[in-house]
């Protein structure tokens, strides 16, 4: 039953409502959603945001699911083998429909699921304050079947905490965190180059080899059984680790030969070239093509980085040369161009002009320089920085190492920057369990020094991106490794690379 209010009283209520907190809520509710969910479930706010950024770049995609059935900025999953969406509903009491489409509800659901994993891992109130202690919970949140993919997922989240990021009004500053990998410390590191045999991929040496489930592709003997005359470009509609995990899921009934990461162009091979991946939705095109998946979502251009384009183009060029595929748009096509296709990838944000220029050989950066610790005039450090050639993951003949101390004592890399502008900065270091879990790299930008933290226990033997920074022109110290680091592990200074695309 309802009662009509007198007009004057009703008017007062309306006027008061205009000044209530709800009416004057934040113009950008996404940051508030993370702060409130983190407080409600006692999850570190920055960690919660990093999980979301790794999954979706904080884009809920209008409540539409990812390729593996994940919803919202927190990628709450509902598929035959993973049910974090339903679990979030149980934990929060939120309707599933709200968890799919409402950002605040979705973030609360993700926080609740993450907290439940922390509880199962035995984190008490004190331990929950340390983001580094959440590693096992984060690894579980990725729903990976294989331990190495779970580690890949968690490492991605912790790398984001070390570099910092900003999206959708949410800013996470670069921070010093020592990740406690627990049972994942001895699991294969898919970010690192194996000292003995590269990344252990049979067909494309720069790629890591992580096999798809045998029920998600057809074993064959191409090119004896079928000619290979196509490369098909896809977008994962999900994260890099998520796509790898999905292709390993026996219920997926889908796969691709290769998956490429957005941030740095890392490549994972999941189906041998000779075998037929199920990626095109058209059997004839499956039998005659190589499928390449690219991390991201078709409606979000932020995923399509220059590093991804260059890495993918190098792979496509390799495949074209190996199998005699013409380097033309008639033979290098999007999933949307496959006859009968119901998919739209790679979508309107994919830059075919840039990509094909890279494929046909125009992939040389506008400018690039590499500075090794042995480069004459390019490296300066105190006598406390010793020299070693111990690791097979080193760049060049050797590298430098020093104990951490409560003082900077930086080892500087000097470079000649041709003109003021924005440059990508990458670092190379050998990895070892005895090295530092949060080594501070300092970049001298035009707006002051910026610090990024890198876990030198993992991801060694390859170029690791620190980010894109504004640099001044001229010859000067550009990147340093500081000894002022937490933990007891040695701090390593090996090589840097600076690129203007």
The residues annotated with a catalytic role in the active site are 293
**Cis bond leading into 223, ω under 30°?**
yes
443-482 CB burial, b ≥16 within 10 A, e <16? bbbeeeebbbbbbbbbbbbbbbbbbebebeeeeeebbbbb
By the 8 A CB rule, do 169 and 28 touch? yes
Collapse the DSSP code of 459 into the 3-class scheme (helix H, G, I; strand E, B; otherwise coil) and give the result: coil
The helix-helix angle for 147-163 and 45-56 (nearest 10°) equals 120
**Which residues on neighbouring strands pair with residue 496, listed in sequence order?**
371, 427
Quote the distance between the C-alpha of residue 117 and its chain's center: 22
By the 8 A CB rule, do 51 and 114 touch? yes
- Cα angle vertex 393, ends 390, 394, to 5°? 70
In angstroms, rounded to a whole number, what is the distance separating the alpha carbons of residues 293 and 73?
21
In angstroms, rounded to a whole number, what is the distance separating the alpha carbons of residues 294 and 351?
13
CA nearest neighbour of 314 among 260, 381, 370, 376: 260
Provide the residue count of the chain.
Answer: 501
DSSP H helices in 121-212: 125-128, 135-141, 147-163
**Which residues on neighbouring strands pair with residue 180, listed in sequence order?**
none
Tokens matching residue 242: 């998520």
Where do the DSSP E strands lie in 300-359? 332-334
User: Is the backbone of residue 155 left (phi > 0), alpha (psi -120 to 50) or beta?
Assistant: alpha
């Amino acid at each position: 039953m309802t009662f009509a209010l007198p007009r004057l009283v009703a008017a007062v209520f309306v006027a008061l409502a205009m000044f209530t907190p709800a009416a004057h809520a934040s113009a950008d509710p996404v940051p508030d959603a993370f702060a409130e969910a983190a407080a409600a479930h006692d999850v570190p706010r920055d960690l919660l945001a990093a999980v979301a950024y790794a999954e979706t770049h904080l884009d809920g995609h209008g409540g539409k699911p990812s390729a593996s059935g994940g919803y919202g900025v927190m990628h709450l999953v509902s598929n035959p083998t993973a049910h974090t969406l339903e679990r979030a509903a149980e934990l929060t009491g939120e309707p599933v429909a709200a968890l799919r489409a409402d950002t605040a509800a979705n973030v609360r659901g993700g926080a609740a699921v993450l907290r439940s994993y922390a509880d199962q891992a035995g984190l008490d109130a004190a331990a929950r304050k340390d983001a580094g202690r959440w590693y096992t919970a984060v690894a579980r949140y990725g729903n990976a079947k294989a331990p190495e993919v779970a580690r890949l997922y968690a490492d991605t989240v912790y790398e984001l905490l070390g570099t910092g990021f900003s999206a959708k009004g949410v800013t996470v500053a670069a921070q010093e965190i020592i990740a406690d990998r627990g049972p994942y410390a001895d699991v294969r590191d898919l970010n690192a180059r194996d000292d003995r045999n590269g990344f252990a991929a049979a067909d494309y040496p720069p790629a890591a080899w992580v096999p798809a489930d045998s029920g998600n592709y057809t074993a064959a003997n191409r090119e004896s059984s079928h000619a290979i005359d196509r490369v098909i470009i896809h977008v994962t509609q999900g994260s890099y680790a998520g796509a790898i995990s999905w292709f390993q899921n026996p219920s997926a009934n889908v796969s691709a030969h290769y998956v490429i990461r957005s941030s740095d162009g890392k490549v994972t091979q999941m189906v041998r070239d000779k075998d037929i991946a199920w990626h095109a939705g058209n059997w004839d095109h499956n039998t005659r093509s190589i499928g390449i998946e690219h991390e991201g979502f078709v409606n979000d251009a932020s995923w399509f980085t220059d590093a991804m384009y260059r890495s993918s183009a190098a792979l496509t060029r390799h495949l074209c040369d190996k199998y005699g595929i013409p380097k033309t748009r008639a033979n290098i096509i999007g999933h949307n161009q496959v006859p009968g296709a119901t998919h739209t990838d790679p979508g309107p944000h994919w830059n075919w002009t840039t990509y094909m220029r890279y494929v046909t050989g125009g992939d040389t950066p506008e400018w690039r320089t590499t500075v090794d610790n042995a480069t004459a005039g390019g490296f300066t450090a105190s006598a406390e920085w010793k020299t070693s050639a111990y690791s097979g993951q080193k760049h060049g003949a050797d590298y430098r190492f020093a104990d951490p101390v409560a003082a900077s004592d930086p080892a500087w890399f000097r470079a000649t920057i041709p003109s003021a502008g924005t440059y990508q900065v990458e670092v190379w270091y050998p990895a070892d369990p005895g090295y530092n879990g949060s080594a501070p790299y300092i970049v001298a930008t035009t707006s002051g020094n910026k610090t990024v933290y890198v876990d030198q226990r993992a991801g060694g033997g390859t170029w690791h991106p620190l980010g894109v920074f504004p640099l001044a022109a001229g010859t000067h110290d550009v990147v340093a490794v500081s000894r002022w680091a937490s933990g007891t592990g040695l701090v390593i200074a090996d090589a840097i690379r600076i690129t203007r695309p």
